[in-house]
Amino acid sequence: MKLKIRNGLVVTSSETFKADIGIEDGIITKIERKAQSASADSLPEFQADEVIDADGKYVLPGGVDVHTHLDMPFGGTVTADNFYTGTVAGACGGTTTIIDFAIQNKGETLKTVLENWHQKAKNISVVDYSFHIAITDLNEGVLSEIPRIINEGITSFKLFMAYKGSLMTASENISRVLAESSRLGFLTMLHCEDGDKIDELIKDFLFSGNTNPLYHSLSRPAELEEKAVSDALKLQEQTKGNLYIVHLSSEGALKQIRKHKGRVLTETCPQYLVLSIDKYTEKPDKQVRERNRFLCGIPDDFEGAKYVMSPPLRGKHHLNALWEGIKDNTISIVSTDHCAFNFYGQKTLGLGDFSKIPSGIPGIETRLFLLYNEGVMGKLITINKLVDVFATVPAKTFGLYPKKGEIAIGADADIVIFNQDKKLVIKSIRLHQDVDYCPFEGYRGKGGISYVISRGEIIVRDRAFSGKKGRGKFLSRRTYQVGSGV
């Protein structure tokens, strides 16, 4: 045996048990459950070249983050993390698989989009990866390419109901893609916000001189997410499409989805479970304020740009509603929507005009820690449910299960050894993501990552990355039908 994880508390989505795990050729080949009594434990143990003592620690499946934006041109700039820095950060946060959005430029074929994204990831990603394609320019040619793209292992396509003038697509196009998804079995992922109404509100606010980041959130009220979700559900009903709603943020929209549970899949993200709208009016501390004002000419009310994302943060009652949605399985996945922009130099593109602040925040490295503290320590979910939304359901939904997202014989040995007693405070300076701030700065909790193992290789020890650049492999994915279970 190459590697053994000894005496850990193995957590899957359905059970927690003490066991030794054996790993050979990157695969889990042995799971020896430990009896609770000492006499039974004294049976001879299997041997291995290297043994990790996981006594008292959780042994979790490596995280599967199905929503990232690495090396992505957006909002007049490019996201701060590329496939190296972003996946190192993911690994250090317990994520061993990502699915990134390959974005179609106007006029591009899907073949070209896919080739571009392969170029970005190849030879630098440190964890296994796949792509969704975000279709922004649909036509007959693009539609006819979809079967070929599915054969290349890409089985999910995103469309935007928001970002008028750039990524937004017409509702006829959504219908066409949904109809194709029912025929071909791929997932149609939808960004649900009413882009037309948002565009009007943006213009009104800017016209009346309301230009700071708070107005980003006020121009995207929760009702406009609810309206878009309800339109999307109607289109799904007409087409019988395979629908997956991304980054859900609000209670009303969630209620709509709950009525159609089983017919649609939904994800949310840690930011919508942990942070709320008051972040847009937060002021910088004294030291930062001085630097901002005197060196960079940045006013105090621009601090909220650090939280400009779409959909935006909501009032506190939405957070509770989303946790309820996770508990009753209306929401089955927590991904990150990691879309990092530096505050200085990138977010500042929107000084004096909130609509020019690049939309998105970093989060790839903090998902497990936040879910554990807010969810499990906060007694909102069990540790098994955490595994479900963090790894198992994402792997199932996106055609990677049971190789990914599971601790079982035959699965890839993608494993996180998690020290639930270790106290930590999130500090941007200690993170690996290549961005100059963290929206969760100062968050205190428990849970240190002792080891991260990817296909049997130890790539993180005590938060330090030790894997090789480019070791991550492209994952070709199977199709998945909403409502089919595994």
Residues at the contact surface with ligand URP, assessed by CB under 6 A? 69, 191, 247, 309-310, 337, 339, 359-360
Q: Which is nearer to Zn ion, 48 or 89 (CB)?
A: 89
CA dihedral in degrees (297, 303, 309, 315; nearest 10)? -150
> Least separation, in Å, of the C-beta of 419 and Zn ion?
31
Beta strands in 128-201 (DSSP E): 128-134, 156-160, 187-191
Burial of 302: CB neighbours in 10 Å, binned 0-12, 13-18, 19+:
buried
> Least separation, in Å, of the C-beta of 287 and Zn ion?
32
> Least separation, in Å, of the C-beta of 442 and ligand URP?
22
Place of tokens 């993608």: 414
CB within 8 Å of 77: residues ≥ 6 apart: 341, 346, 349, 358
Confirm if 87 and 460 have CB atoms less than 8 A apart: no
Residue 309 contact, options Zn ion, ligand URP, none, Cβ 5-8 Å cut-off depending on partner type: ligand URP
Cis status of the peptide bond prior to 439, with omega within 30 of 0: no
d(C-alpha 242, C-alpha 79), whole Å: 29
Residue 438 contact, options Zn ion, ligand URP, none, Cβ 5-8 Å cut-off depending on partner type: none
> Least separation, in Å, of the C-beta of 335 and ligand URP?
10
Residue 155 contact, options Zn ion, ligand URP, none, Cβ 5-8 Å cut-off depending on partner type: none
Confirm if 187 and 399 have CB atoms less than 8 A apart: no
Structure-block tokens of residue 483: 């409502």
> Least separation, in Å, of the C-beta of 359 and ligand URP?
3
> Least separation, in Å, of the C-beta of 247 and ligand URP?
6
Confirm if 357 and 308 have CB atoms less than 8 A apart: yes
> Least separation, in Å, of the C-beta of 160 and Zn ion?
6
| Backbone torsions φ then ψ of 324, nearest 5 degrees | -60, -40
CB within 8 Å of 468: residues ≥ 6 apart: 126
Confirm if 127 and 95 have CB atoms less than 8 A apart: yes
CA dihedral in degrees (404, 408, 409, 413; nearest 10)? 50
Q: Which is nearer to ligand URP, 195 or 241 (CB)?
A: 195
Helices (H) and strands (E) in the chain, counts: 15, 19
Q: Which is nearer to ligand URP, 12 or 188 (CB)?
A: 188
Confirm if 454 and 465 have CB atoms less than 8 A apart: no
Q: Which is nearer to Zn ion, 120 or 191 (CB)?
A: 191
> Least separation, in Å, of the C-beta of 7 and Zn ion?
39
Structure-block tokens of residue 456: 């049997």
Q: Which is nearer to ligand URP, 32 or 137 (CB)?
A: 137
d(C-alpha 247, C-alpha 87), whole Å: 20
Residue 61 contact, options Zn ion, ligand URP, none, Cβ 5-8 Å cut-off depending on partner type: none
Residue 477 contact, options ligand URP, Zn ion, none, Cβ 5-8 Å cut-off depending on partner type: none
Q: Which is nearer to ligand URP, 6 or 197 (CB)?
A: 197
Q: Which is nearer to ligand URP, 171 or 329 (CB)?
A: 171
d(C-alpha 282, C-alpha 443), whole Å: 15
Applying CB under 5 A, which residues contact Zn ion? 191, 337
Residue 75 contact, options Zn ion, ligand URP, none, Cβ 5-8 Å cut-off depending on partner type: none
> Least separation, in Å, of the C-beta of 420 and Zn ion?
30
d(C-alpha 300, C-alpha 142), whole Å: 46
d(C-alpha 239, C-alpha 241), whole Å: 5
> Least separation, in Å, of the C-beta of 195 and ligand URP?
11
**Which helix (H) or strand (E) segment is 28 a member of?**
strand 27-33
Of the CA atoms within 13 Å of residue 312, those in its CB half-sphere come to: 28
Q: Which is nearer to ligand URP, 101 or 302 (CB)?
A: 101
Residue 216 contact, options Zn ion, ligand URP, none, Cβ 5-8 Å cut-off depending on partner type: none
Q: Which is nearer to Zn ion, 155 or 336 (CB)?
A: 336
Residue 197 contact, options Zn ion, ligand URP, none, Cβ 5-8 Å cut-off depending on partner type: none
Residue 359 contact, options ligand URP, Zn ion, none, Cβ 5-8 Å cut-off depending on partner type: ligand URP
Q: Which is nearer to ligand URP, 365 or 406 (CB)?
A: 365
